[in-house]
A and B are shown apart, each in its own frame.
Chain A
């Protein structure tokens, strides 16, 4: 069988399962008594084991197998979680992640996991040694009697009885596979899949573990609770290829009692058998057979498909071509002025606007795909720093463009580490300052207008303005005179300056001087911005502002003589007309009054060296007020053309970055217009 075809699917799914394991293990650590998490964890580990064994990644399979053994004991309340077990399990997860990464990189997923396996084994046989052994022995014993009576234990009996009381049917299903069947374990797995869609497997003979390892001949038996009919079930099972026959037999209470007749092997096999039953239950958590009080919400089936990102990019490129033609059509129809044409074009515009929404949404991914690894990271860092911290995440479902998501991870890791390492005080420090022992880091994401904001806030010591100022002057970031004029917020934002680091001591986490300026550079390169607000003694808040999408933006088209330019609408505050005599002159700089403030006037024609437009000769000038943080400016242009959705295009590698121009776009008339970078217009 060609495994390559399944490899990418395997990698994707393994990563999903590992993520789920990580998350749930963290939740469990927060509430070790809640066994419902153990069920979910066990399920993920189990699937992972099956998948890796099928794909032939033995090390992965054996490691997950050992982890599963531990989880199994925990799940059956034979072992209670403690710190050692959590640490070993987390280590195991890390090892698994490394293996998956290796497989992804074309490796064979080999890793030396002996020490972790040994730790896991020691957990399993520590005080439960004897029981584990008998369970293993009995599993073999049961497996060796292929089509004998399906023996059930007391727990399973009570599950079955309860189910029957609530109107469900208990069935005994014998399934046999055709002789030529090669992947027996895979077929058995498919049978279980079908069964679990319709009800609950209470018990299987041989055990699920043995079935997975192909430790069975050609047939196996399951005890099953369902609300469906026998015919339906047998038909569904027979529908699986290489299944020779499936026979279902209705069990009544008397048969059940007979099956549950105490016999030594069955009682001893409780551990293994119960695992098969409980695991199946957990798939249908809403069934009455469940005994735990708290149940995880039944996962809603996600109706999604995985699509290669290149195809999406191709779709968006094609769509951008369409947008250009749309603007061309709009222009033509307004020139020609025929009602039928205008109406058709208007309809086309509406449809393409809807289409644009959908196309752009296709690339949107919830920030959760970045956030989900942070709880684990914070836990590890907090442990290594010996600080107590709680990470509160809100707005994880906020969506961002895929390209932004791919890039935003590292800056966020940096900010979070920074908050944890420099922001939060040590436990003693917090107690001294009269704060709760456990520090809190808030990670928030939310939409606002055409932007997404991500905030990292912590209730730590805050930024010491004086220290920052002194450091900045020492590092030559600015002069003493300049520093004296800054507002507290401006001082805080000095920490983003290149070569700046205020950590008194350098730890292995952060503080190597390449820090926040890298974060800022990265975010600016994504078309965003980052700033910090801080109150000394009460904590700091880092806010990242990011554009929703990078490929299509709304812009204001303006004219400068014969040339056309686009200015992103997001940075425009207002447009207006200015009379020549309203222009003020301050120290030789041209200024104007705007909302009770005096703001500088920027001549776009001078910045861009426009050949055929000179605003000096105009009596009245059109202006656009733009804003960057707390800075404002009025940009004088020749004429407004109007708003338009434009497609960002690169100008090609040859030209490299050009000042004040962030890219180009193609207008409806087929001409190229340059996109102005408003941030570059501030001095």
Chain B
């Protein structure tokens, strides 16, 4: 019997994704973002999160998906992983749900155009929804960020 995990559910396009609640600091509405020059295009800049400057990345851009205009539903999910605190721009963040760790299956090679290494697996919720679980440490991989910067240059 696996353990119950609480996850925040958010959407990018048609697909629904999940991040463990304990990795999420807050979910914010879209706010003014200050552009930081000479960063990869998916790094949208930095925001003022109650006195702390936090970098924000567009998760669509990070996964190589087409970026879209922000809407009223757009949210910034502030995640905390190790020393890193980063905001993810997502299309919408709808609710919190429970999944059982037994119900997480390894991902197929490509899900919705996202490389498998960014994913932890596919989880089935009690209601029968399918959630794509993110592999945060890989999404926030800094080495890759540096490589991308070099490609830019």
Contact = CB atoms under 8 A, between A and B. Distances in A.
- Does B bind A? yes
Interface of A: 320-321, 324, 563, 607-609, 611, 649-656, 658-661, 664, 666, 670-674
B85 interface: yes
Contacts of B51: 320-321, 324, 666
Nearest to B84: A654
B12 interface: no
A649 B52 contact: yes
B47 interface: yes
Interface string B44-80: 0111100111110000000000000000000000000
B93 interface: no
A41 to B, nearest CB: 47
Given A666-B51, A670-B48, A655 B35 contact: no
B145 A652 contact: no
A611 B55 CA distance: 19
B86 A654 contact: yes
Given A666-B53, A671-B48, A652 B32 contact: no
Contacts of B39: 655, 658
Given A652-B85, A653-B84, A659 B36 contact: no
B111 interface: no
Interface of B: 32, 34-39, 43, 45-48, 51-55, 83-86, 140, 142, 145-146
A187 to B, nearest CB: 51
Nearest to B82: A653
A673 B145 CA distance: 22
B9 to A, nearest CB: 24
A671 B54 contact: no
Interface centre among B34, B55, B83, B140 (most CB of A within 10 A): B34
The 10 A-B pairs with the shortest beta carbon distances in the complex, nearest first, are A672-B34, A608-B37, A649-B53, A664-B53, A654-B55, A654-B84, A672-B46, A652-B55, A609-B37, A654-B86
Contacts of B48: 666, 670-672
A653 B34 contact: no
14 contacts: A563-B34, A609-B37, A652-B54, A652-B55, A652-B86, A654-B142, A655-B43, A656-B145, A659-B38, A660-B37, A666-B48, A671-B32, A671-B48, A672-B53
A649 B48 CA distance: 10
A664 B34 contact: yes
Interface centre among B51, B52, B145 (most CB of A within 10 A): B51
A466 to B, nearest CB: 39
A651 B35 CA distance: 12
A664 B142 CA distance: 20
A652 B37 contact: no
A148 B52 CA distance: 73
Contact of A672 (B47, B86, B146): B47
A655 B36 CA distance: 9
Contacts of B35: 563, 611
B38 A652 contact: no
Nearest to B50: A321
A651 B36 contact: yes
Contacts of A659: 37-38
Nearest to A649: B53
A674 B55 contact: no
Given A324-B51, A671-B48, A661 B146 contact: no
A673 B34 contact: yes
A267 B55 CA distance: 80
Contacts of A661: 36-37
A485 to B, nearest CB: 29
Contacts of A658: 36-39
A658 B40 CA distance: 11
Nearest to A562: B35
A673 to B, nearest CB: 7
Given A658-B37, A670-B48, A674-B46, 19 more contacts: A608-B37, A609-B37, A609-B38, A649-B52, A651-B46, A652-B85, A652-B86, A653-B84, A654-B55, A654-B85, A655-B39, A655-B43, A659-B37, A664-B34, A664-B46, A664-B53, A666-B51, A673-B34, A674-B34
Nearest to A663: B53
